[in-house]
């Protein structure tokens, strides 16, 4: 790969990278090549690459392809270890490429604080992400802090100037963000540090909401559990527990009547039957099925045992298993940093994630090379979780809804 091989829009982006920038570029638009060619053009010193563990080998391959040898690369997991963070702190770098930059988000983490100080000393910083177009302003603070450096305002000052907050119903020591003020300033901040490019794709997008009807008795039982925030002797006293129970109920799983048992049981096959219909109607396509919990994986694997289903429990599975016609993976494992599903053109959300970032990232795994004329997205919903999809499609996280006192 040579500079001349880049597309014209990529060359234009490289020409803008003589200063530190946040690259907000859609999936498949070439963030990796833009940042590495910019490093070759504007730097002579050492390169630091921070990336998700699943992307390390791809970054090494890119550096080898572009004949970049003077670099160090660390995963976000490794960089938290004392041994590796010490190596970084004791090395001089001229440029840093931070892939999937939203990973550096925990400002209170000791390792993050050390890394931020180190990054302040690096002349050029390129932050890469395809996800924050719909982010709220609180998510942009870390990008502003890295690009503008230590002189940028503290997070406390940032909150006071731009956030409208209230104490959380679940935890009065945690503040919920209701909205923002002085947004014109934030827009100017963002515009000054960002390069935005959304690559036009040829694929036609089909989105299908797959409604799963629940019988009235079961629906009443489910809604009573959610409204009363208690089931058996299990008290639903946090957003996490609230979300977990909603997901289990939405997948038509409930605790057995045995008071001593906390094993979820499937109470209806209607959702699985709908899934089989979708698989049959797309039998000539490559399919990826996303789920949330092990309980879901277990019932899916059992129900689809007559099909050739490839199950990916971790990113390491890709070293020994190649994706096939039907693939299963959890959002936790397969929402980002996974490129092997490039030949899948059908996406099935058996259950929905609550995070807008995970929702968008997981959808970005299919048809990555834009080789297929049509992409199909199927979202399973019922009366328990239909509001989840409404919220995600607005570019918001449903976890925020779960924080509200009035939400059922």
- Evaluate whether 375 touches 355 at the Cβ level (below 8 Å): no
Q: E-assigned strands of 292-403?
A: 309-312, 326-330, 346-349, 374-381
Of these ranges, 1-5, 104-108, 218-222, the one predicted with the greatest mean pLDDT is 1-5
Question: Among residues 129, 185, 203, which one has the least CA distance to residue 372?
Answer: 203
Domains assigned to the chain: 3-197 (3.40.50.10810), 204-402 (3.40.50.300)
Residue with tokens 């270890």: 81
Q: pLDDT tens, 125-181?
A: 999 987 655 567 887 888 999 999 888 999 889 999 999 888 776 667 777 777 889
Looking at the DSSP bridge assignments, the partners of residue 234 are 231
SS3 333: helix
Q: Give residues with Cβ within 8 angstroms of 11, minimum separation 6.
A: 3
Q: Cα-atom radius of gyration of the chain, to the nearest Å?
A: 23
Determine how many CB atoms are found less than 10 A away from the CB of residue 28: 16
Q: pLDDT tens, 28-87?
A: 788 999 999 999 999 999 999 999 887 888 899 999 999 999 999 998 888 888 888 899
- Evaluate whether 397 touches 243 at the Cβ level (below 8 Å): no
User: Distance between CA atoms of 406 and 408, rounded to whole angstroms?
Assistant: 7
Angle at 48 between CA 43 and CA 50, to 5 degrees: 135
């Amino acid at each position: 790969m040579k500079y001349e091989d880049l597309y014209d829009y990529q060359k234009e982006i490289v020409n803008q990278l003589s200063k530190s920038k946040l690259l907000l570029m859609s999936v498949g638009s070439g963030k990796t090549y833009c940042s590495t060619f910019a490093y070759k053009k504007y730097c002579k010193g050492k390169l630091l690459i921070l990336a998700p563990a699943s992307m390390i080998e791809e970054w090494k391959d890119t550096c080898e392809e572009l004949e970049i040898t003077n670099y160090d690369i660390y995963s976000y997991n490794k960089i938290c270890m004392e041994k590796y963070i010490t190596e970084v702190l004791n090395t001089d770098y001229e440029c840093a490429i931070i892939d999937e930059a939203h990973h550096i988000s925990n400002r209170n983490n000791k390792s993050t604080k050390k890394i931020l100080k180190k990054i302040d000393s690096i002349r050029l910083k390129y932050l890469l992400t395809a996800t924050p177009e719909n982010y709220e302003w609180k998510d942009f603070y870390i990008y502003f802090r890295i690009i503008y450096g230590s002189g940028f305002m503290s997070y406390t000052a940032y909150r006071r100037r731009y956030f409208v907050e209230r104490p959380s119903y679940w935890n009065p020591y945690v503040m919920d963000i209701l909205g923002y003020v002085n947004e014109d300033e934030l827009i100017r901040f963002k515009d000054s540090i960002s390069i935005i490019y959304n690559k036009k794709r040829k694929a036609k997008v089909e989105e299908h909401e797959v409604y799963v009807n629940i019988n009235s008795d079961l629906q009443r039982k489910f809604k009573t559990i959610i409204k009363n925030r208690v089931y058996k002797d299990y008290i639903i006293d946090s957003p996490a527990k609230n979300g977990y129970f909603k997901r289990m109920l939405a997948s038509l799983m409930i605790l057995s009547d045995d008071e001593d048992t906390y094993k979820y049981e499937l109470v209806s096959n209607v959702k699985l039957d709908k899934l089989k219909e979708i698989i049959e109607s797309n039998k000539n396509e490559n399919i990826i099925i996303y789920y949330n919990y092990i309980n879901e994986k277990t019932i899916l694997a059992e129900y689809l045992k007559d099909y050739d289903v490839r199950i990916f429990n971790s990113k390491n599975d890709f070293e020994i298993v190649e994706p096939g016609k039907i693939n299963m993976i959890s959002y936790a494992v397969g929402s980002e940093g996974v490129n092997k599903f490039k030949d899948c053109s059908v996406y099935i959300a058996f259950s929905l994630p609550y995070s807008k970032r995970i929702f968008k990232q997981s959808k970005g795994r299919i048809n990555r090379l834009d080789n297929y004329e049509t992409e199909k997205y199927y979202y399973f919903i019922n009366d328990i979780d239909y509001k989840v999809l409404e919220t995600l499609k607005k570019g918001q996280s449903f976890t925020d809804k779960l924080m509200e006192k009035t939400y059922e």
